[in-house]
Amino acid sequence: MFKSLKIIALQSALVLASSHAFAAPEAYRIDDSHSFANWSVRHVASKTSGTFSDITGKIIIDSENLANSSVEAKINMLSVNSSHAKRDKHIKEADYLDTEKFTSATFISKKIEAISNTEGVMTGVLTMHGIAKEMTFSFKVLGFGIDPWGGYRTGFEAKTSLKASDFGFGWGIKPNASVGDDIEITLLIEGVKLPAASPVK
């Protein structure tokens, strides 16, 4: 009888430990080869779109309570790609992104409000072109899964819009500007789960 009680107690402890481990926040490294910051902006009477393909950083996600999650990300502005080499060269110049002086943009989350188990609103500080401004993104957790290399991944989609002039870019507020001031942003982020206590590189 005493032995049976010990076994039951041990099983209960294991269940509690495993459930605690499952609910604990998990750390993911942003995979820069599978993550994109896509953008679109008015050009004359239409729109031009492109992406920044070099994004690094970390995601802490609590799947049981999204409000306990956080994001830190860095975008390499030199990775801009609008599928037109001459235009990309111009975008990097002082008339637009001025990447010689400002090579990166960063985002650090401050607050996450969960709407459901997989959706929410994230508020944080975006620093770009030497200017820091609070931004809000709506986001979705797209899922979790084992990758072909034996790792474990998660995916996110987030959307927002911004005014380039809020970050000191003047192209969109010039008279008869051919490029707009309003930019639509869609983030497609894939993260690789890190072992416990593993540093993010």
pLDDT of residue 68: 95
Percent residues over pLDDT 70 in the chain: 86
Domain ranges of the chain: 25-193
Q: Are 138 and 16 in contact (CB under 8 A)?
A: no
- pLDDT, tens digit, 9 for 90 and up, residues 21-34: 455 899 999 999 99
CATH class for the domain made up of 25-193: mainly beta
Look at residue 19 and tell me whether its pLDDT is greater than 50.
Answer: no
**Mind giving me the DSSP string for 139-191?**
EEEEEEEE-TTS-EEEEEEEEEEEEGGGGT--GGGSTT-SEEEEEEEEEEEEE
3-state secondary structure of 54: coil
pLDDT of residue 199: 54
pLDDT of residue 98: 97
Q: Which residues of 41-74 are buried (b: 16+ CB within 10 A; e: fewer)?
A: bbeeeeebebbbbbbbbbbbbbbeebeebbbbbb
pLDDT of residue 197: 60
pLDDT band at 2 (very low <50, low <70, confident <90, very high): very low
The whole-model pTM stands at 0.84
pLDDT band at 174 (very low <50, low <70, confident <90, very high): very high
Report CA dihedral (127, 132, 136, 138) to the nearest 10 degrees: 0
Residue 165 Rama label (left phi>0; alpha psi -120 to 50; beta): alpha
Look at residue 132 and tell me whether its pLDDT is greater than 50.
Answer: yes
- pLDDT, tens digit, 9 for 90 and up, residues 70-129: 999 999 999 999 999 999 999 999 999 999 999 999 999 999 999 999 999 999 999 999
Compute the distance between CA of residue 61 and CA of residue 117 in angstroms, rounded to an integer. Answer: 12
The mean pLDDT of the chain is 89
Percent residues over pLDDT 90 in the chain: 84
Residue 142 Rama label (left phi>0; alpha psi -120 to 50; beta): alpha
